[in-house]
Amino acid sequence: MYPEDLRYTKDHEWVRVQGERGTIGITDHAQKQLGDVVFLELPAVGRTLKQHETFGTVESVKAVSELFAPLSGAVLEANTALSQQPEKINTDPYGEAWMVVVKLSVSTEVAELMDASAYRAYVESEAK
């Protein structure tokens, strides 16, 4: 599952860029690797994220995985409802399981992200 309207990172996050707003989550590949998700820790609204730094944690029964900011910016919204129902990360990673919305502060960062076909190729090469 590689929605065309999203951009992707090597750490298996996705971003939906809409003007100055970037909505962030983790990909279908990431949720499959994790297994059943049972815990999520998100940053508070207002926190400033720096690209590549950790901004939260997602845990499955078996694994702990840090979340890395694909882009820099201030957190405008955090999906606290998702923290109550983290299993949605498994069932709807690109929809209900959006994690944060940030106000993008470094527009040149977007071009560093992979498009859907580059991310698909990356995932398939990792599997070998």
Partner 1 sequence: MEQAAVALRKTPLNAWHRASGAKMVPFGGWDMPVEYSGLIAEHRAVRTAAGLFDVSHMGEFTLTGPGALAFLQRVTCNDVAKLVDGQAQYSALPMPSGAPVDDIIVSRRGAESFLIVVNASNIDKDFAWLQQHGPRDCELTNRSDDYALIALQGPKAAAILQSLVTFDLATVAYYHFREGDVSGCWASISRTGYTGEDGFELMVAPEHAEPVWRKLTDTGREHGLLPVGLGARDTLRLEARLCLYGNDIDETTSLVEAGLGWTIALVDHKGDFVGRGVLESQKKNGAPRKLVGFEMIERGIARHGYAVYLGDERQGVVTSGSYAPFLQKNIGLCYLPTSQSAVGTEISVEIRERRVGARVVPTPFYKRPR
Binding stretches for partner 1 (CB under 8 A):
35-36, 38-39, 57, 59-62, 64
Alpha-carbon distance values, 122 to 10, 21, 55, 74, 119 (Å): 8, 25, 23, 29, 5
C-beta of 35 vs 95, nearer to partner 1: 35
- Smallest gap from Cβ 87 to partner 1, in A, equals 8
Closest distance between partner 1 and the C-beta of residue 35, in Å? 6
CB of 78 vs partner 1, minimal distance in Å:
15
Measured over the CA atoms of residue 75, residue 30, residue 89 and residue 20, the dihedral's sign is: positive
Q: Which of 14, 48, 39, 15 is nearest to 29 (CA)?
A: 14
Q: Give the shortest CB-77-to-partner 1 separation in angstroms.
A: 20
| For partner 1, the closer CB: 39 or 118 | 39
The residue among 36, 124, 39, 37 whose CA lies nearest residue 83 is 39
Nearer to partner 1, 38 or 110 (CB): 38
